[in-house]
Chain A
Amino acid sequence: MHVVYRELEGRSKAYWALLLGLGAVLLLGLFAAHTMEERGHIITGMTNQIVWGMPHVFAVFLIVAASGALNVASIASVFGKTAYKPLAPLSGLVAIALLAGGLMVLMLDLGRPDRLLVAATVYNFKSVFAWNVFLYTGFFTFVIIYLWTMMERKMNPYTKAAGFAAFIWRLVLTTGTGSIFGFLVARTAYDSALLAPMFIIFSFAYGLAVFNLVLMAAYRGSGRPLGDRMLFRLGKLLAVFVGASFYFVLVYHLTNLYFTKNHGFERFILLDGGIYPLLFWGGQIVVGYLIPLLLIFAPATRNSRTALAAASLLVILGAFAQMYVTIIGGQAYPLPLFPGMQVSSTFYDGVVHPYTPSGWEIMLGFGGVALSLAIVVFGLKILRFLPESLSDDQHMEAQHQAA
């Protein structure tokens, strides 16, 4: 199969308006970060009880989705599914872009972002965070090399090896992200080895959902043909990942429900914790899992592009709910300082910690999203990431060749 890749023209008013709009959101995010540094985290909703807030919801989502966005490329290069091959370069670009956006948010939320240099030069190798510094830079390196082997004809023979390396690395990366939480013995919500594989499965779903939307938008915007067959294949794949995520969440909560010491926490998240049960059942389960599955499989909608786009968007919204419940909900529930006893203090022991994200935090988060999207939009203009055509004929040819 000969696939012709071509840059986006990128000369239309709509293209520049999109880039300009993203730039404006990014600037707002940077302004929020600057104000946070100037006036301190007092302008955020974060406290000494809820120490990680909205920026972390955005950052962890973007970083997890980054690793998942590489999936399409992995399926092509590592698992030899030729049908996905034309999508591989875009998959790599989206992966890099999402990681860059996530890291921007994470770094600018630091109490001392000016000490980034310290974080880059002084390491405690027992810290999962320190591992992550290497995992992130390694991810960039591996994916860039992988893209190079795909896009430079002379390097094509190395694509499979590079793709395999990037695939292994992304699994390690998301294990690292999950372990940031999994390795916290102190908190009931975390403290579980399950979080690492669970985050990997989440990443598959989040990354593919973002990828689907980017793909559809890019082809629609550039007026290139995109076949139903390819698209609905990606839809089915998304459904598999959503189903698997659902399974992991089920096992996670069933395990907690079995252990008496965790009943209080489960009650909080599933039943009477205010916003958290609402986001869990309404956001994560219904919006993030059930409706997308319905849209992808129901006879009335399974052949609709709009439905697939809606399903992908809902998976992303569900993902944000999920991250909010995991990150904020996990902190809002009080630490069990004296298990079984009632405790109270001036430092808010024994009570549920309230949290309302401030506009600054949300601005910073969207700044990261804007950076990710801007990298994709600009990347598509300067390099050949997109096949000229992804019509069903092309797709059939690839299938045929594989057979």
Chain B
Amino acid sequence: MSGFDTYRRRFLGGVLGVGATAALPAGLLFWQTAEGDVEDGPPASGKVRWGMLVDTTKCSTGCDACVRGCDQENGLSGNTSPTSPQWIRKVQVTNPRTDYSFSLPMMCQHCEEPPCVDVCPTGASFRRADGIVLVDRHLCIGCRYCMMACPYKARSFIHHPVTDQLPEVPRGIGCVESCSFCVQRIDAGKRTTACQDACNAEGHQAIYFGDLKDPNSDISKRLASYGGQEVLASLDLHTGVRYQGI
């Protein structure tokens, strides 16, 4: 073996050794940082499952009060460009054979088996014990795989810097976000969502929100008497949002 070869072997070995030695403590340090303590509030309870029922027969075509209510509550601009976030949108559905048409609000359906949670590599997309599907803003790396996986197109990616966030609704560039069932209200003890309040204020009363696990809740009673369908029910995702009249 030539001297050059021996030198090169030593050099490569040395580089590997130094690399490994440097990487180990750095890795441990980073691990600790990543696993750092976060101050949590009381955990969500699995005894409730928050759900929503939309009566499409009462939902008025052209009315977007729910969208505006949501934007205001969560600090969204209300822009509708292809890159703007839209947590809730009004969808007009028309049967081309009969011309029968109806309107409904579409947002995160808070699935029991959410595809967004399945595909998220870091676990940033998660489902709380009470059924609310959220994005952990500290874990989201902005890969958008959840947006590819969501059958309801419920999620938005933040394409530019955000500066006017509301204190209760953390949002930021490079992350994915969607309807949170107004989780900031729920955790503060309120029992209505902003879209529901806005709909009621318009006098339509098309949106009901409540605990699907409580048989005495308004929403459970309505579901028991009138039924309620899931959008794309064949996917078997057991959505938390149900619709009447679709």
Contact = CB atoms under 8 A, between A and B. Distances in A.
B84 interface: yes
A341 B94 contact: yes
Contacts, number: 179
B90 A40 contact: no
Given A117-B34, A127-B145, A346-B90, A183 B231 contact: no
A129 B231 contact: no
A347 B123 contact: no
Contacts of B213: none
Contacts of A133: 121
Interface stretch (B171-179, B185-193, B198-206): B171-179
A183 B176 CA distance: 20
Contacts of A344: 91-92
B82 A123 contact: no
A98 B61 CA distance: 52
B158 A347 contact: no
B200 to A, nearest CB: 22
Contacts of B85: 48
A106 B93 CA distance: 37
Interface stretch (B37-45, B47-55, B146-154, B215-223): B146-154
B142 A338 contact: no
Contact of A186 (B35, B144, B149): B149
A118 B175 contact: no
A110 interface: yes
Nearest to A36: B174
A161 interface: no
Nearest to B156: A48
Q: Interface residues of B toward A: which range?
A: 35 or more
Contacts of B139: 115, 118, 122
Contact of B93 (A39, A47, A113, A338): A338
B147 A121 contact: no
B115 A186 contact: yes
Interface residues of A, number: 53
B145 A121 contact: no
A345 B83 contact: no
Given A111-B175, A129-B119, A185-B151, A343 B91 contact: yes
A298 interface: no
Given A40-B174, A118-B122, A122-B139, A185 B158 contact: no
Contact of B96 (A51, A115, A119, A342): A342
B95 interface: yes
Interface string A121-159: 111101111101100000000000000000000000000
Interface in B1-54: 30-31, 33-35
A46 B93 CA distance: 26
A351 B117 CA distance: 26
Interface in A48-78: 48-49, 51-52
Contacts of B84: 48
Nearest to B172: A112
Contacts of A113: 141
Given A111-B157, A186-B115, A187-B148, A345 B174 contact: no
A52 B148 contact: yes
Nearest to A121: B34
Given A111-B144, A119-B122, A185-B235, A349 B153 contact: yes
A339 B56 CA distance: 18
Interface in B123-159: 123, 138-145, 147-153, 155-159
A110 B141 CA distance: 6
Contacts of B167: none
A117 B31 CA distance: 8
A403 interface: no
A180 B119 CA distance: 9
Given A52-B148, A110-B174, A183 B119 contact: yes
29 contacts: A37-B174, A40-B158, A42-B159, A42-B160, A48-B83, A48-B86, A48-B159, A110-B141, A110-B174, A112-B141, A112-B142, A118-B34, A118-B138, A118-B141, A122-B34, A122-B123, A127-B120, A128-B119, A129-B120, A130-B121, A183-B119, A185-B149, A186-B115, A337-B231, A338-B246, A342-B96, A343-B92, A345-B90, A353-B82
Interface of B: 30-31, 33-35, 67, 80, 82-86, 89-96, 106, 115, 117-123, 138-145, 147-153, 155-161, 173-176, 231-232, 235, 246
The 6 A-B residue pairs with the shortest CB-CB distance, nearest first, are A111-B142, A111-B174, A129-B121, A186-B151, A47-B82, A124-B123
